[in-house]
Structure 1
Amino acid sequence: MKALIVKDLLGHLDIYVKVSIASCLNEIIRITTRDAPYDDIMKEIFGLIVGTFKNLDDISSRLFPKRVSILETVAKV
């Protein structure tokens, strides 16, 4: 889990990397909801996750299914 929250990944410029990191962190948060593993950096992680919804209207993007999955998980948790 710690490997995903390094600044180089959270601030990566490639949208595919950002969405993939957000997806992984989203699943970790879903699994560990009662024991949030990243208390000190949750604001940045949440910003990354919310940022993946920016182009949710682009249904032709190959990132669309991953973005929808992230949105569904956020809605459940």
Structure 2
Amino acid sequence: MGSSVPIEAATEEIEHDVWEAGNALLRPPSSPDELLKLLNKAEGILSGICQEPSISTAKAILPMMNALISDEIFKHSDGNVQVAVASCLNELTRITAPDYSYSDELMQDIFKLFMTALKQLPRGTGMNLSRAENILNTMATIRTGVMMWDLELDDMVVEMFELFFDT
């Protein structure tokens, strides 16, 4: 019979990992490849955090939340980085749902970034396609469309459905 790690220890490890990854992203590397490595790590950590986390986990996520919306990362020109950032923000949206992770204005920009990632569905390959599929799955699960309607993003909802029908 194998040993099991107590839940508290596992939670502390996740909190430590997400805090460290978030702080690393607050000082992003200039190389897109190095940034992608950090985003891949962040995405993996975030995917292991349950919805409505404990207060201590929510606090540990804050550096990550701040890093992902920094201009250096959120407005990065590399398409692969954009999709990876969208995927990380998608995980944060899942974790904090049904509440919004950020201000209404920023959520609108985040949903636009999700649309950028979803455009990978018809032509994407590899990680970008996988991330786009995960974003779509999470959007369906947490009813992101309803969140978009709440923010009166009617045109974006229509654009999203047009994308799906064209795919």
TM norm structure 1: 0.88
C-alpha deviations, 1:24-72, integer Å up to 9, x for none? Answer: 000111110133220141111111011111131125x111111101111
* Same amino acid, percent of matched pairs: 38
Match of residue 14, structure 1, among 46, 62, 78: 78
1:41 paired residue number: 106
Give the SS at the match of 1:52: helix
CA distance in 1, matches of 2:101, 2:120: 28
Where does the alignment leave 5 or more consecutive residues of structure 2 unmatched? 1-64, 143-167
Q: Which has the higher contact order (CA 8 A, sep 6+)?
A: 1
Work out whether residues 121 and 133 of structure 2, in 8 Å CA contact, stay in contact via their aligned partners in 1: yes
Work out whether residues 117 and 131 of structure 2, in 8 Å CA contact, stay in contact via their aligned partners in 1: no
Q: Which amino acid aligns with 1:22?
A: A
CA distance in 1, matches of 2:134, 2:80: 15
Count of aligned pairs:
76
- Aligned CA RMSD, in angstroms, stands at 1.3
TM norm structure 2: 0.43
Bigger radius of gyration among the two:
2
